[in-house]
Amino acid sequence: MKNTSKTLGIIASVVIGTVATALAYYLMLPPLNIHSSGFWTFLIMVLFFYGLPLGVVSGFGAVGKKSGKVKVNKIFLIIAAIPVAVLVLGGIFSSTFFNAQKYAAVIEVQQSDFSEDMPEADVVTNISLMDTASASILGNRELGALSDVVSQYNVSLDYNQINYKGTPKKVANLEYVDFFRWINNSANGVPGYVMVDPVGNDADYVKFEKPMIYVDSAYLGEDLMRKLRFSYPTKIFSSVNFEIDEAGNPYYIVSCMKPHVGLFGAMDVNEVIIFNPCDGTSELFAVADAPSWIDNVYDGDLASQKYNWFGTLSRGFWNSVIGKRDCKMTTEGYGYVVRGDDVWYYTGVTSVTSDESNIGFILTNARTGEYKYYPIIGAEEYSAMGAAQGEVQEKGYVASFPSLINVEGEATYIMVLKDENGLVKLYALVNVENYSIVATGDTQSSAKQAYLEELAKRGVITEEELPAPETKTADLTVTAVRLATVGGETVVYITAEDGTVYRGALASDESLILVTEGMALTVEYAETEHAKIRAIIGWSEKTE
């Protein structure tokens, strides 16, 4: 009878441990991979799940007879010490202290020519100047107009930068508001996403042909990470990004990592999963074999971290701590540039001993992980942002993180200035080498023209080199006239019969107040960053 009770106690303890382990795995979703520190932490937890009910810890277990006095079984202690030792020793021997050169060798950096790789353009359409906060405002405004979805769904805060048909876009899927909204709508799934144009400053809600079932805001078996973990139990997931293909179909791009040093060190992406959230199917690719339409394999933080390994550890660990000879690292933050079919991260590079200057900048391909370095000395990004904000300090605008463009051979920061509500009000251009050269405008075109004039005034370029704004002429009939205040100035918006909008500042041309609906005009204009909006240079009324 005594043996039967003991056997039943052991069986009950094993059942308790198994149930606790299964529940913990279901909730924590650790990768079953020895190269993940999370796996070893989970293993320690599992040992205690089984150890406590089996009585290997006296005072708590079924076998312990000295209630209230904790005494750990020596065999259990030895077994539990193994994963702890792996975590500690694995971390030490995978560290930069023992492996500085290996960390530095994770990437190769190619030095490139700025003028060749970044040709000048009249209007910048390949750079995302809008940050996630501003994109979120536009996206929420667009969703707010849709009564059938706004009460059940939110727009995800995770806006991802993609290259969609050759232009930069920010996309974010809808998500369930809460658990009860998921219960009410799980049969219908997530119906669509918001696409923000960071160049034209507008947003559109797009409905899927098939709804998404597996999303991050779902629960139980429809939870995205749970579905991924059960499909790929050994993979170490890094970033998970929502994207759409060229046909508008939704996917999650899931980066998988492995160490390049020791057990845990120099983790980098080696594979990518393309997951279909509509039906739960997926494909696994090596990074080199990933389809060209995807954009986000390496995230910007990882790209900066890997360059910092390269920049600080190339001459060894002790040099990175004491001598710091030739040590360099990225500045805080990064922007986006679309080149060809890919999204690239932009960030400045500074010497670890410098204060407010850059010695160059890097572009990192978000899909392939390729690095290009451009040796350009000048102000670091936050100094340039401060210079732009100072130009209109009375308005209290805040600058976005800038990107870099080529203007008449001059490396130039370009950024947007936002009001307290996060809405884009002005564009600003700041010279990299001399950040006292600043110009702003309510459009890219007007800001660039003002910047060119400032360059000529400072003697950076000659008056002969100052290009005249490229203008065109159109005949139109006015269908609507509206006035709006933009950046503290009154702007006249004239809509033509084909839907094209022509805008001009009343302060620059007071006669625009005379334009009325139905008038026939001849308008001289310049193209802007938005295909359907044009800047008025001059106008006249057509006469019969």
**pLDDT confidence bin for 121, thresholds 50/70/90:** low
More confident residue, 116 or 64: 116
71 vs 159: CA distance, rounded Å: 52
**pLDDT at residue 13 is higher than 50:** yes
In this structure, the number of other CB atoms found within 10 A of the CB of residue 15 comes to: 11
Give the residue among 166, 85, 158 at the shortest CA–CA distance from 125.
Answer: 166
Q: What residue type is 233 in one-letter code?
A: P
User: What pLDDT does 61 receive?
Assistant: 43
User: What pLDDT does 354 receive?
Assistant: 66
User: What pLDDT does 268 receive?
Assistant: 96
103 vs 78: CA distance, rounded Å: 33
Residues 6+ apart with CB under 8 A from 102: 260, 261, 265, 266
**pLDDT confidence bin for 37, thresholds 50/70/90:** very high
pLDDT in tens, 316-330: 999 999 888 989 999
**pLDDT at residue 532 is higher than 60:** yes
Question: How far is CA 226 from its chain centroid?
Answer: 23
User: What pLDDT does 63 receive?
Assistant: 43
- Does the predicted model carry a pTM greater than 0.75? yes
**pLDDT at residue 125 is higher than 50:** yes
227 vs 232: CA distance, rounded Å: 9
Handedness of CA 145, 155, 136, 206 (dihedral sign): negative
**pLDDT at residue 200 is higher than 80:** no
User: What pLDDT does 60 receive?
Assistant: 44
271 vs 258: CA distance, rounded Å: 9
User: What are the φ and ψ backbone dihedral angles of 408, each rounded to 5 degrees?
Assistant: 55, 40
Q: Environment class of residue 245 by beta-carbon count within 10 Å: exposed (0-12), middle (13-18) or buried (19+)?
A: middle
**pLDDT at residue 539 is higher than 70:** yes
User: What pLDDT does 71 receive?
Assistant: 59
User: What pLDDT does 371 receive?
Assistant: 96
Partners of 16 in the beta sheet? none
User: What pLDDT does 139 receive?
Assistant: 81
**Average pLDDT of span 338-358:** 84
Alpha helices in 222-289 (DSSP H): 224-231
Of the candidate ranges 208-212, 256-260, 448-452, 458-462, the one whose mean pLDDT is the lowest:
458-462
* 472-541 CATH fold: OB fold (Dihydrolipoamide Acetyltransferase, E2P) (2.40.50)
35 vs 271: CA distance, rounded Å: 15
User: What pLDDT does 6 receive?
Assistant: 64
User: What percent of the chain shows pLDDT beyond 70?
Assistant: 90
Listed by start position, the domains of the chain span 2-93, 127-297, 301-376, 381-457, 472-541
- Is 312:323 a contact under the CB 8 Å cutoff? no
User: What pLDDT does 531 receive?
Assistant: 64
Of the candidate ranges 6-20, 268-282, 336-350, the one whose mean pLDDT is the lowest:
6-20
**pLDDT confidence bin for 295, thresholds 50/70/90:** very high
pLDDT in tens, 429-484: 999 989 999 999 877 777 888 898 889 888 887 766 666 666 788 888 999 999 88
Between strands 167-176 and 160-164, the pairing is antiparallel
pLDDT in tens, 139-185: 888 777 776 777 789 899 889 998 888 888 899 999 998 999 899 88
**Average pLDDT of span 37-62:** 73
pLDDT in tens, 66-96: 445 555 567 777 888 899 999 999 999 999 9
